[in-house]
Structure 1
Amino acid sequence: MPEEPRPDPASADSLPPLPEGLTTRPLRKTDARAVFELMAEQERLDIGVVSIEESDIVSDWARPSHDLAARSVGVFDGETLVAYAELMGADRADTSVLPSHRGRGIGTWLAHWLQDLGRRVGSTVVGMPVPQGSPGDRLLEELGFHVRWTSWVLKLPEGASIPDRALPEGYVVRTAQPGELRAAHDVLEDAFLEWSVRDREAFDDFEAATTGRPGFEPWNLRVALDGDGAVVGVSLVLVSDNGTTGYVDRLAVRRDQRNRGLAQALLVDSFAQARAHGTSTSELSTDSRTGALGLYERVGMVADQIWVNRGIDLPPTRENAD
């Protein structure tokens, strides 16, 4: 695999200037805590709660395919990280600016930095999630980023439970065995790629971000098996770093096994397992590409947050076009 470009993060001539006194450098894995604290401060102001967890960042950065040094930038005021951006894969970007440093043009600089990087690595579009109506949402709209899709974070109201759904005869839901990890990955990727326009996730990336996630335990990966013992449904249920919330990170059922109640059975099992491990609330997220919002609302889940993914198309550079 050819090595990705490693430019000086602030050297591109196309970038607007940063405020005087700020410095930049690529991020390192040891910056995970600082990035978490930065994002948490922004979420606390914009949505009133902190959804991001340090484990999310650590597991993302554990993916073998992600070249953090080539794909990220931190903006520093002295020793303090006040903003960052990174590009994972072809088009998935994440950014954050410390609220105390908003209004200084840093977010605009990051948006241009991401577009510049995207062009250099051959991306045709770069997009990122932002809370709907937030300062970040408004800034990206001003910069020409359009809404690609809408996402909802749904919660199960306190004290509520999802109605049980009987499994077809011979089917079972249980903890995945080590030898079923690759089959679970295949079910997830086959389902997600029905509506997500991206390259197939490498198994090594899935394994690193799942079983390699801080705090991962075998029970976190749930599978539905048919009568022949084949994996036909998967749920990855995580426990928040503070131990209060069970979060279904991924849920999928094989196309030919749908409309049999497997998704609902996996949800019931996932949230029950999370409660058995000490959580008091349960949640998940879905977006407008999946068409699954109605399913979750019908089993009693309620939308708690709304996010939009805003993206911008990147015309190819002359070098990439050639």
Structure 2
Amino acid sequence: MIGVDALPEGLQARPLTLTDSAAVAAVMTAAEIAILGRALIDESYIVADWSRPSFDITSSTVGVFDGDDLLGYAEVNGTARGDAAVHPDHLGRGIGSALARWMQAAARAQGQTEVGMPVPQGSPGERLLLDLGYHRRWTSWVLTLPGDREIAAQPLPDGYALRSAGEDDLEPAYHVVEDAFLEWSVRDKQPYADWLAGITGHPAYEPWNLQVVADPSGAVVAAAHVTLDDDGVAGFVDKIAVRADQRGKGLARVLLAAAFAETRAHGASRSELSTDSRTGALDLYLGVGMEIDSTWVNYGIAL
């Protein structure tokens, strides 16, 4: 285990387990409410992410505790990628700096050459990372479609079909999504089992959560993964992708309209998604009536 150095007196650190997911979600929720005025995280996403077959929770996570109370946590979760949060009641004690040092050591031990994380723009987390010498990598946005707005149903090109994913659609959808994301992200292709853990492995998965478009030959050429938050209030488009040779046909708009219609049909009053400056998709979402809810900045540091 990689230790967390220079913690305030009386605090302890240990690797996390799946049973700590609720405590991690509570810390992240408190931090987001303090900064953004509302929470974005759901425990179900943490559970699904940590349940990926390739993810070693013991070596890739750490929590800082005062007795049984979790005050902060950090994880290294993919190529040059991590996350961390400190409960707002315990900012200014050096916990965030200690967790940042742990993230660097953990990533270095995994053979990484860089590690970073997203933080809300203007937040204490952003100030900390800048003070620690991190550099800006990209900007991301959380967008919301207000409850009094909807995306009009989009027509499909002749011969194309939209449907909820069946068993035979899962692996083709995986290739469409991963290949599209790898056009602008620098990482290896995610193993299929890891990708599936975030789809069918999501604690609340239902077939309508994955929508696909098939071309006239029956091949899956576009896909969108959508979920409801733990309270059922917001529908969130987690992934959306169109195969490179099928772009320009309006398939992304078809999937967006279908995804948000499905979440509202299942009780959601708000629709959300996130995108970042590497994708060039911001104008698409603004163009269908979505609004920027919060802005995040991803910072990294060479190891």
TM range (shorter): over 0.9
Query: Are the counterparts in 2 of residues 86 and 93 from structure 1 also a CA contact under 8 Å?
Result: yes
Q: Which residue of 2 aligns with 1:97?
A: 86
Q: Aligned to 1:18, which of 7, 14, 17?
A: 7
Deviation at 1:118, TM superposition (A): 1.5
Q: Distance in 2 between matches of 1:120 and 1:208?
A: 25
How do 1:205-220 residues align onto structure 2 when only pairs under 5 Å count? 205-220=194-209
Q: Aligned to 1:58, which of 47, 61, 73?
A: 47
Q: CA RMSD in A?
A: 0.9
Q: Distance in 2 between matches of 1:41 and 1:163?
A: 36
Q: Distance in 1 between matches of 2:223 and 2:257?
A: 13
Q: Which runs of 5+ in 1 are unaligned?
A: 1-6, 315-322
User: What is the DSSP-based 3-state SS (H/G/I as helix, E as strand, rest coil) of the residue aligned with 2:107?
Assistant: helix
How do 1:157-196 residues align onto structure 2 when only pairs under 5 Å count? 157-196=146-185
Q: Which residue of 2 aligns with 1:204?
A: 193
Deviation at 1:180, TM superposition (A): 1.0
Q: Which residue of 2 aligns with 1:149?
A: 138
Q: Distance in 2 between matches of 1:209 and 1:42?
A: 24
Q: Does 1:9 align with 2:3?
A: yes
Q: Percent identity?
A: 54
Q: Distance in 1 between matches of 2:73 and 2:143?
A: 27
Query: Are the counterparts in 2 of residues 8 and 25 from structure 1 also a CA contact under 8 Å?
Result: no
User: What is the DSSP-based 3-state SS (H/G/I as helix, E as strand, rest coil) of the residue aligned with 2:198?
Assistant: helix
Deviation at 1:8, TM superposition (A): 4.3
Query: Which amino acid in structure 2 is aligned with residue 233 of structure 1?
Result: A
1:134-162 Cα shifts (integer Å, max 9, x gaps) = 00011101101111110111111221111
Q: Distance in 1 between matches of 2:280 and 2:126?
A: 23
Q: Which runs of 5+ in 2 are unaligned?
A: none
Deviation at 1:39, TM superposition (A): 0.7
Q: Distance in 1 between matches of 2:110 and 2:205?
A: 33
How do 1:35-50 residues align onto structure 2 when only pairs under 5 Å count? 35-50=24-39
State the aligned residue count.
303
Q: Distance in 2 between matches of 1:248 and 1:90?
A: 23
Compute the TM-score of the two structures, normalised by the length of structure 2: 0.98
User: What is the DSSP-based 3-state SS (H/G/I as helix, E as strand, rest coil) of the residue aligned with 1:243?
Assistant: coil
Q: Distance in 2 between matches of 1:79 and 1:49?
A: 25
User: What is the DSSP-based 3-state SS (H/G/I as helix, E as strand, rest coil) of the residue aligned with 1:84?
Assistant: strand
Query: Are the counterparts in 2 of residues 239 and 279 from structure 1 also a CA contact under 8 Å?
Result: yes
In structure 2, the CA distance between the partners of 1:8 and 1:261, relative to structure 1 (3 Å rule), is closer
Deviation at 1:172, TM superposition (A): 1.1
Q: Which residue of 2 aligns with 1:77?
A: 66
Q: Which residue of 2 aligns with 1:116?
A: 105
Q: Distance in 1 between matches of 2:219 and 2:2?
A: 49
Q: Distance in 2 between matches of 1:298 and 1:113?
A: 41
Q: Does 1:33 align with 2:22?
A: yes
Q: Aligned to 1:311, which of 297, 300, 303?
A: 300
Q: Distance in 1 between matches of 2:197 and 2:146?
A: 32
Deviation at 1:54, TM superposition (A): 0.3
Query: Which amino acid in structure 2 is aligned with residue 95 of structure 1?
Result: A
Query: Which amino acid in structure 2 is aligned with residue 91 of structure 1?
Result: A
Deviation at 1:267, TM superposition (A): 0.5
Q: Distance in 2 between matches of 1:134 and 1:27?
A: 25
User: What is the DSSP-based 3-state SS (H/G/I as helix, E as strand, rest coil) of the residue aligned with 1:210?
Assistant: coil
Deviation at 1:208, TM superposition (A): 1.3
Deviation at 1:92, TM superposition (A): 1.3
Query: Which amino acid in structure 2 is aligned with residue 250 of structure 1?
Result: K
1:78-111 Cα shifts (integer Å, max 9, x gaps) = 1101011010122211101111111011101111
Which is further off, 89-98 or 293-302?
89-98
In structure 2, the CA distance between the partners of 1:206 and 1:18, relative to structure 1 (3 Å rule), is same
Query: Are the counterparts in 1 of residues 63 and 72 from structure 2 also a CA contact under 8 Å?
Result: yes
Query: Are the counterparts in 2 of residues 92 and 126 from structure 1 also a CA contact under 8 Å?
Result: yes
